[in-house]
Amino acid sequence: MDGPGHTASRPVSTTCHARTVADRPSTQAPAAADAQAPGTGTAGTATVRARRVLALVGARTDSGRDVALAVFWAVVTVVLLGFLQAANVFLGTARTVPDAQVAAVVVLGVVQCAPLAVRRRHPVAVLLTIAVVQAALLASVPTGIALWGVAPVIAAYTVGSTRSSAVVVRAVVAAVAIAAVGAVVGATGAVTGLLGAAPRSGAVALVLGAVALVLTAVVVNGASAAVGSWTALRRDHARAAQERAAEAIEHQATLTRAAVAAERTRMARELHDIAAHHLTGLVVQAGAAERLVDVDPDRAKASVRSIREQGRDTLHALRAIVGILRETGEDATGTAPVPGLGDVSGLVDAARASGQVVDVRIDGTLPDLAPLADVTAYRTVQEALVNARRHAAGASVLLAVSADADRLTILVENDLAPSDDRDHAPGYGLVGMRERATLVGGRLQAGPSSGGRWRVQLDLDPRSAT
């Protein structure tokens, strides 16, 4: 340590800065706050590693980590002061500093770290307690020394990251005022005189030194608290962004569920028409069989067999769809026939009438599909043409249907919309198309093709489609 006989030498600053690791909650729960230093992903990795190390020594809770922090910085303070004293001995200046003064500085430096053990439970009280010890340090150090430990930095940072702006300002002002008292007392030399140091001289130098110490207190406490507040603000913004993202995802999921429910309702109406069609045929054939039982038994048996086949088909269709229908809409009105693949020409004519260029290619003979599969093929073409007209207005559309005994493929392809026209709210037509395709055992693929066009492809097996 430098003594009064060397006031002309450069003041030695031992201000230490620390990065504490923890998380800060809201201001209503400061007890769980943790003063994590600002930083990027590297700082977050350092935080995780530090907590793992602390866990190895049993510090797994916030209180345990605070105690470990206080012990760590107390040890570091002793080591740094030991290095400073060794340097003074090496330079030949230590003999001017009384042993009592050295001991007082070491004790105060260690005691100053002790309140950090409860910094998250009582951040303001810890800051003020540390400020009192810091004032005692400023009053006890030799002339020309600006000795600031790491404890004031951590305490001010914790207050800034866990308290409101008004509380932070009041706490920092109080801490600076306490440090100013210590600087003034130190300038008078009253404490250093009791410790055996030589009287201080040079009024102007002493006043300037006291002012410098006060300004240092403003910088240390103010900057640390400001960084803590800034870190808390960033953390709150990140938390708010995560909450908004979660809300957006939930909203999207809600809309998707609503779209699926609406599609299932429409499918239920179509199932009603399909069932009504089959049941009407069953009733008619049953009446005919009843009349033919005595007149023409062979024809009656054939009619009964036909009734059995139609009943089996109807039951299979009901089993396939009733398991996924959970939403009910308004009762269907009217008796319009259920559309099918044979009615696709009407969709093409309507699209062309609206100005859309549609090129139709059919390869093979269209099979007779089961009612649900027939409706699925029709609705897929309908939705694909509507999407092409909505999202790529003016683009040409290719409708290709390929059929054989084992496979029916429906392909609707159009040019992609310009990038400026793609910023629109997502639709839910694909959700309904996939629901239908899965229902009848088919597969739907939708997305951009390698040729830079948008493709919707439905693959059905005519033999197994419901």
Dist CA 141 CA 212 (whole Å): 14
User: Where in the chain are all domains bearing CATH 1.20.5?
Assistant: 249-322
pLDDT at residue 15, as a whole number: 37
Give me the CATH code for the 341-460 domain, please: 3.30.565.10
Burial 298-321 (b: 16+ CB within 10 A, else e): eebeebbebbeebeeebeebeebb
Q: pLDDT by residue (tens digit) across 72-107?
A: 888 988 888 888 777 665 555 555 667 777 788 888
Dist CA 240 CA 24 (whole Å): 14
Dist CA 369 CA 400 (whole Å): 17
Question: Is the predicted pLDDT of residue 192 greater than 70, yes or no?
Answer: no
Amino acid in position 460: L
User: Where in the chain are all domains bearing CATH 3.30.565.10?
Assistant: 341-460
pTM: 0.48
Q: pLDDT by residue (tens digit) across 104-155?
A: 888 888 899 999 999 888 999 999 999 999 888 888 776 666 778 889 999 9
Give the range among 37-51, 91-105, 378-392 with minimum mean pLDDT: 37-51
pLDDT at residue 190, as a whole number: 64
- Mean pLDDT on 173-198: 76
Q: Which CATH number fits domain 249-322: 1.10.1740, 1.10.3470, 3.40.50, 1.20.5?
A: 1.20.5
What's the mean pLDDT when you consider all of the chain? 75
CA angle 248, 251, 256 (to 5 degrees): 125
Matching residue, tokens 């489609």: 465
Dist CA 399 CA 361 (whole Å): 6
Amino acid in position 270: E
Amino acid in position 299: R
